[in-house]
Amino acid sequence: MAIRDLAARLRSIVKEDVRRVRAGSGGVDAVDISGVHYEPDVLGAALEARDVARILHGEVRGPSCVMVDRTWDATDWHGRRRVDSYALDEALPLAMFDARLSAETGWASRVVFFDIETTGLSGGAGTLAFLVGCGWFEDGGFKVRQFFLSGPAGEHAMLDALAGIFDDASLLVTFNGRTFDVPFMEMRWAFHRRACATSDLPHFDMLPPARKLWSRREPDDERASCTLSALERSVLRFHRLGDVPGFEIPARYFHFLRSGDPGVIEGVLEHNRHDLISLAALTSRALQLAVDGPEACESAGEQLGLARVYELSGDEGRAIRAYELAASSTDREVATRALSRLAVFFRREGRFGESAAAWERVLERTGHAHRPLTSLERRAVEALAIHHEHRARDLDEARRYAEALRAEASGQLVVEVNRRLGRIERKMRAADSRKGSPAAAPLLD
């Protein structure tokens, strides 16, 4: 549901509520909450918050703010593993995935996983985080604490409760939270003229590591998606049944505000809870993979992603091992990408012969004969033309690769390839001339 002006919409909802609860709260001054003017009678909605808390099995934590706790026991399963196996410890290489956290110590003492549900994605003073979820490991299990706004008046109490949780946290973990969740909540604290509770808290956003490890380039392949729900299925092997789609969540909240029926919101809380435990599980999986190495990966694609993580962190030995394992895969697309990364890696290290061998394996794996070259194959052909001209000094091979490149070149590339071929031809004529010169001929008695 497209909402252009949340404040105007809430005012219309409030007018309906005022008519419903007109009986008796006289003498109280009007208050202004979150930019929306509320008439005195609406303060009677605190009673409704108690009803919401009863139905959601929670408790009221302030005007229109309901707190709901749920816990997964240590022996419960989420996907293919038990909940307690996802707990994080200090030995896991967090800094390998985010160099900004390299100086952090004691980060694992109280890791808080954080996710919000909002009335829209546009931001601004009229957009609310009507549901905020925090999760952490406790006594082997995973505890989720959610704060639900049965009305905007509860935002003060929610922000106070969140500040208490973040004060005790050692690390905040989100999924795309660096660009959405955390800035959004910073805006809400600023709106209420309060200090931001997350400003000094180390923050680990799991989305960039997930993209490195598990993204695929084929747009029609579900594995190409790095949404949390897609990673649940492909990595954790967890499938939600009857889940509320994300696009439907704001509409459900507005329906709740109009109808006062908490039943329409229960599925939203369940969606948020599963987001949090899946975030914890994916974080654990990523960090544990970095420790166990490419042999522990379940697919060549995962090995390829892990190799990139090792390479970026400077762990060259394990990067090469992971690339080599991925390159031996029967998945041709993954294998050729791994070989191309090996080729670039070797060239950067000055291992030119090994780099050329990797590019040759790319062309062998792709079987490029009798069809146009792909962009990766063109890179391989160009790299081999350069290698044979300048390093191996095999001008015949250099010309062969350059001619293969010219056959499919266009635009500026044609000019560059022709320049290369002209240079190779001149070198070949010069070499022939030296061979036939008197100085090069054997002396006769």
Condensed to tens digits (0 to 9), the pLDDT of residues 43-83 reads 334 347 889 999 999 999 988 999 999 999 999 999 999 99
The pLDDT value recorded for residue 244 is 94
Mean pLDDT (whole number) for 121-142: 88
The pLDDT value recorded for residue 259 is 86
pLDDT over 80 at 29, yes or no: no
pLDDT over 80 at 236, yes or no: yes
The pLDDT value recorded for residue 123 is 62
pLDDT over 80 at 35, yes or no: no
pTM score, whole prediction: 0.82
Mean pLDDT of the chain: 85
pLDDT over 70 at 33, yes or no: no
The pLDDT value recorded for residue 5 is 53
The pLDDT value recorded for residue 372 is 83
Residue 218: pLDDT band with limits 50, 70, 90: very low
pLDDT over 60 at 225, yes or no: yes
The pLDDT value recorded for residue 260 is 84
Express each pLDDT in 178-205 by its tens digit: 999 999 999 999 999 999 999 999 999 9
**CATH fold for the domain made of 293-362:** 1.25.40
Q: Judging by beta carbons within 10 Å of its beta carbon (0-12, 13-18, 19+), is residue 352 exposed, middle or buried?
A: middle
pLDDT over 50 at 409, yes or no: yes
pLDDT over 80 at 26, yes or no: no
pLDDT over 60 at 146, yes or no: yes
Q: Which of 174-178, 204-208, 373-377, 383-387 has the lowest mean pLDDT?
A: 373-377
- The whole-angstrom separation of Cα 60 and Cα 67 is 6
The pLDDT value recorded for residue 122 is 67
Residue 437: pLDDT band with limits 50, 70, 90: low
Phi, psi of 227 (to 5 degrees): -70, 155
pLDDT over 90 at 335, yes or no: yes
pLDDT over 50 at 308, yes or no: yes
Q: How far apart are the first and last CA of the chain?
A: 99
pLDDT over 80 at 217, yes or no: no
Q: Judging by beta carbons within 10 Å of its beta carbon (0-12, 13-18, 19+), is residue 319 exposed, middle or buried?
A: buried
Strands 65-72 and 141-149: antiparallel
Residues 6+ apart with CB under 8 A from 429: none
Residues 6+ apart with CB under 8 A from 132: 114, 115, 116, 117, 146, 147, 158, 162, 185
The pLDDT value recorded for residue 215 is 86
Percent of the chain with pLDDT over 90: 71
Highest mean pLDDT among 6-10, 101-105, 397-401: 397-401
Strands 129-138 and 111-118: antiparallel
CB 142 within 8 A of CB 72: yes
The pLDDT value recorded for residue 368 is 62
pLDDT over 50 at 170, yes or no: yes
Mean pLDDT (whole number) for 303-314: 94
Domain extent listing, the chain: 8-24+32-290, 293-362, 368-432
Fold matches, 8-24+32-290 and 293-362? no
Q: Residues 128, 132, 133, CA angle at the centre, nearest 5°? A: 165
Name the CATH superfamily for 8-24+32-290. Ribonuclease H-like superfamily/Ribonuclease H (3.30.420.10)
Residue 125: pLDDT band with limits 50, 70, 90: low
DSSP labels, 322-362: HHHHHHTSS-HHHHHHHHHHHHHHHHHTT-HHHHHHHHHHH
